[in-house]
């Protein structure tokens, strides 16, 4: 099925109380008409021990039938189901169909708004912020999870002791993991006493610079500072936990840069060659850094943080020919 639907890996959790008779599917997280920044979990309570299969659709893309009626499943997980959704940006119409044998038992629907990195003011008013760590929701998890860990456990850097990893391990299954996340130092940023619980009370540059103050001081010395840096918006480009891209970037370098600098991909860049094309920005080895083996990209010529040249040239010279001569030195 399309990536826009539900991923094929299904996880279930055991929640320690007796199942009840059929009473309609409950959307535990996200709640109906909620907005979320991540696509980590869709948690459903089926409210029936008779349901044998579930089919989930997101904006019309429907999953295969998920089998939840085997004796082994019921003994372990009762009537709960967790899947990892792949939300579309913006509004997502979620449909859950339950089956008893080959017969459809119920269809339940909910709307979820997915807005990674957005501010509350950017969200349509009908969608409300959603946090899982509320007392009534946490009470459903105590059969398997320690929902009131001690301070020692919360600050432990050992995976087997960390209370967060059981549900949030997947965010670390990436190539480049941010140091605090990789050492399970969740409690440094996420505060148990915050409201809502575990919210990050300090974000962006004020938080990042507690560790990266040397970088902030270095950038401040430069004549020109790139807009996101000047605004203290580290999370525009970097994922605070980790990603598949070097530097925990949220997307490959050129894709990330061109998401703001869209005009660059519409016209020849820097020069027009005899073929009518501009200077390459990808598809070749980067001659400015031959020892790295990296591919040419926007950062071959431009410093993404700050510099002493107007266009953040990496050699900090306003003379464009000197920049060219870094590679074209004949």
**pLDDT tens across 193-244, in order?**
888 899 898 889 999 999 999 999 999 999 999 999 999 999 999 999 999 9
Question: Per-residue pLDDT tens for 46-89?
Answer: 999 899 999 999 999 999 999 999 999 888 888 899 899 999 99
Q: Comparing 166 with 247, which gets the higher pLDDT?
A: 247
Question: How is residue 307 written in tokens?
Answer: 């510099």
| pLDDT value, residue 97 | 97
Give the integer Cα–Cα distance in Å for 171 and 169: 6
Place of tokens 């591919």: 295
pLDDT band at 258 (very low <50, low <70, confident <90, very high): very high
| Percentage, residues of the chain above pLDDT 90 | 55
82 with 13: CB under 8 angstroms?
yes
| pLDDT value, residue 70 | 93
Give the integer Cα–Cα distance in Å for 55 and 96: 6
Could you say which DSSP state residue 320 is in? H
| pLDDT value, residue 51 | 95
Q: Which of 83, 76, 94 is nearest to 34 (CA)?
A: 94
133 with 163: CB under 8 angstroms?
no
Statement: residue 3 has pLDDT above 70: no
| pLDDT value, residue 330 | 64
| Percentage, residues of the chain above pLDDT 70 | 93
pLDDT band at 124 (very low <50, low <70, confident <90, very high): very high
pTM to 2 decimal places: 0.78
The structural domains of the chain, with segments of one domain joined by +, span: 6-138
Picking from 66-70, 130-134, 175-179, 301-305, which range would have the lowest pLDDT averaged per residue?
130-134
| pLDDT value, residue 275 | 80
Distance set, CA 76 to CA 15, 52, 68, 147, 190 (Å) = 9, 14, 11, 20, 31
Statement: residue 10 has pLDDT above 70: no
Give the integer Cα–Cα distance in Å for 246 and 236: 15
Enter the CATH code of domain 6-138.
2.60.40.10
Place of tokens 């209370």: 163
| pLDDT value, residue 153 | 82
Torsion from C-alpha of 167, 171, 175, 179, nearest 10 degrees: -90
Q: What is the mean pLDDT of residues 296-320?
A: 94
**Mean pLDDT across the chain, nearest whole number?**
87
Residue 108, H or E segment = strand 103-114
3-state secondary structure of 26: strand
Output the CA angle 321-327-330, nearest 5 degrees.
75
Place of tokens 């009473």: 23
Give the integer Cα–Cα distance in Å for 47 and 13: 14
């Amino acid at each position: 099925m399309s990536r826009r639907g539900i991923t094929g890996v299904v996880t279930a959790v055991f929640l320690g109380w007796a199942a009840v008779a059929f009473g309609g599917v409950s959307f535990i997280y996200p709640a109906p008409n909620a907005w979320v920044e991540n696509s980590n979990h869709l948690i459903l309570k089926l409210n029936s021990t008779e349901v044998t299969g579930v089919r989930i659709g997101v904006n019309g893309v429907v999953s295969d039938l998920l089998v939840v009626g085997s004796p082994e499943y019921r003994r372990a997980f009762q009537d709960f189901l967790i899947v990892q959704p792949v939300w579309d940006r913006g509004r997502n119409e979620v449909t859950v169909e339950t089956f008893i044998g080959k017969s459809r038992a119920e269809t339940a629907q909910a709307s979820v708004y997915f807005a990674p990195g957005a501010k509350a003011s950017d969200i349509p008013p009908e969608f409300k912020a959603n946090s899982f760590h509320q007392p009534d929701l946490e009470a459903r998890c105590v059969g398997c999870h320690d929902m009131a860990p001690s301070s020692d456990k919360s600050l432990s850097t050992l995976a087997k002791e960390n209370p967060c990893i059981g549900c949030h391990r997947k965010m670390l299954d990436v190539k480049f993991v941010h140091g605090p996340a990789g050492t399970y130092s969740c409690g440094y940023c996420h505060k148990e006493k915050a409201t809502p619980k575990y919210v990050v009370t300090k974000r962006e540059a004020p938080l990042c610079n507690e560790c990266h103050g040397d970088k902030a001081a270095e950038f401040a010395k430069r004549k020109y500072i790139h807009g996101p840096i000047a605004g203290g918006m580290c999370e525009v480009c970097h994922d605070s936990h980790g990603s598949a891209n070097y530097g925990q970037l949220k997307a490959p370098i050129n894709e990330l840069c061109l998401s703001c600098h869209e005009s660059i991909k519409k016209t020849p860049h820097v020069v027009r060659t005899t073929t009518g094309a501009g200077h390459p920005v990808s598809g070749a080895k980067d001659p400015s850094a031959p020892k790295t083996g990296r591919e040419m990209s926007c950062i071959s010529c431009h410093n993404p943080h700050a510099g002493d040249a107007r266009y953040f040239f990496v050699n900090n010279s306003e003379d464009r020919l000197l920049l060219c001569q870094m590679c074209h030195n004949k």
